[in-house]
Amino acid sequence: MTIDLTRIIKAYDVRGTVPDQLSPDVARAIGSAFAQVVVLGGGTRPAAPRVVVGHDMRDSGPALAAAFAEGVTRAGVDVVTIGLCSTDGLYHASGALDAPGAMFTASHNPAEYNGIKLCRAGARPVGQETGLAEVRDLAQRILDGAEPSPAARPGVVTARDTLADYAAFLRGLVDLSGIRPLKVVVDAGNGMAGHTVPAVLGTGAGLPVLPLDVVDLYFELDGTFPNHEANPLEPANLRDLQAAVVEHGADLGLAFDGDADRCFVVDERGEPVSPSAVTALVGLREVAKELEAGRTPTVIHNLITSRAVPDLLTAAGATAVRTRVGHSFIKARMAEADAVFGGEHSAHYYFRDFFFADTGMLAALHVLAALGGQPHPLSALAEMYSPYVASGELNSRVADAAAATARVREAYTSAYPDADVDELDGLTVAHWDDAHPQWWFNLRASNTEPLLRLNVEAADEDIMIKVRDDVLSLVRQEETA
């Protein structure tokens, strides 16, 4: 039975269970379609077309990556395989080699899943509106029997190890050689950080020793995630890191997701540092660098990021641009605005110096540099960037997301006619500028589940709790016939 690719090719990546949804045959068809649509289709055909392919530590990765490469080479496009890598390692290779790329990973999903993150040359995003829909449709036709004629000259596959180049590139962007000595606990979650951290923060790639004492947790590569899910946004997955930071008297802790493109930070007390605070901290460092060079910096933040982020960045002389949630959207906006940096509430951090792509490792280097460049603990440093109170993301399962959202909109526009309302991504209602009490919330539907996701922020905890509970009550009330 042929798989319906609309079930696994979503807004900006491919994700499915192996082998019933994502099999070598499916990967081969997607590889062929990717070569024809993204590499060879439209614009000027490259003189020596090639695609960079990597995979994470999942058992299914090598076979799927090999099948994808077979589809690419059948279309007459060469393949450079870089083997085991993090997603940001694949983006680095795509940027350094100026070639489209395919990363086989399902991030933090369970072992039975795998997926593909695709990009154009220079790590530029591929989403539904930038080629992924065409790739999906052509791959579906191939799976349905419309196998294209093989190219006159099949592509060739070569292997390259890019880990050392990746590590040296990142080290060249943030200098840690002069910071005070720091002890840092790193939880790799049995994911790809176990491969990249020794190269970047240690001497595994032949780079000089840094003033860091790294305590490693779960560095063994294991796509079954035997210790905990490799998703640092879930509080349960931080407990081992939090305990280890306190036990070892460490200055901070870092947690990476399965493909190591996201990084979450814990302070010396074992308390999580919000991604919004990290966005502000790193953003201000990048803004200062731009201002020193005589340029007016732009920073991107998604609409769920704390109000502290645009407040602090604007005060520092930057232009803060608000965008919708999703890495393909924020990457595109980054490039359009020539933004120096971008941050998301999900702990994705994007850098112009890293091909406008996201890299948790570069964000971690910035946090280490900021902490090690001054004498105070991370808790005191992070407090400067966290003046407001946030609810975190709260999910509600609803039968009719549109009706629930309409109830919330009607109630709040009636009660607060002076509030700002927009629908950039879901429903955002803000009662903030020159208004008291100060609060805002965003309510957005999941792309894949019958869920509404709520985020609330306010000037103090009592206000946040009231708005949170009132909105949840409206969302979850039973609908009458």
Catalytic residues: 107
* Pairs from 437-443 (Cβ < 8 Å, separation ≥ 24): 437/463, 438/463, 439/463, 439/464, 439/467, 440/307, 441/467, 441/468, 441/471, 442/303, 442/304, 443/405, 443/408, 443/471, 443/475
Q: What is the DSSP string of 216-267?
A: EES-S--TT-SSS-S-TTSGGGGHHHHHHHHHHT-SEEEEE-TTS--EEEE-
Report the alpha-carbon distance of residue 111 to residue 8 in Å, rounded. 16
* Contacts of residue 381, Cβ cutoff 8 Å, sequence gap at least 6: 281, 370, 371, 374
Report the alpha-carbon distance of residue 111 to residue 59 in Å, rounded. 8
Phi, psi angle pair for 258, to nearest 5°: -60, -40
Half-sphere exposure of 70 (CA within 13 A, CB side): 12
Other beta carbons less than 10 A from residue 429's beta carbon: 23
Q: Which two tokens stand for residue 97?
A: 């080699």
Q: Which residues pair with 265 in a beta bridge?
A: 254, 273
Report the alpha-carbon distance of residue 440 to residue 463 in Å, rounded. 10
In 3D space, the residue among 215, 220, 273, 274 whose CA is nearest the CA of residue 247 turns out to be: 215
Whether residue 260 contacts residue 189, with contact meaning beta carbons closer than 8 Å, is answered with no
User: In this structure, what DSSP letter does residue 115 have?
Assistant: E
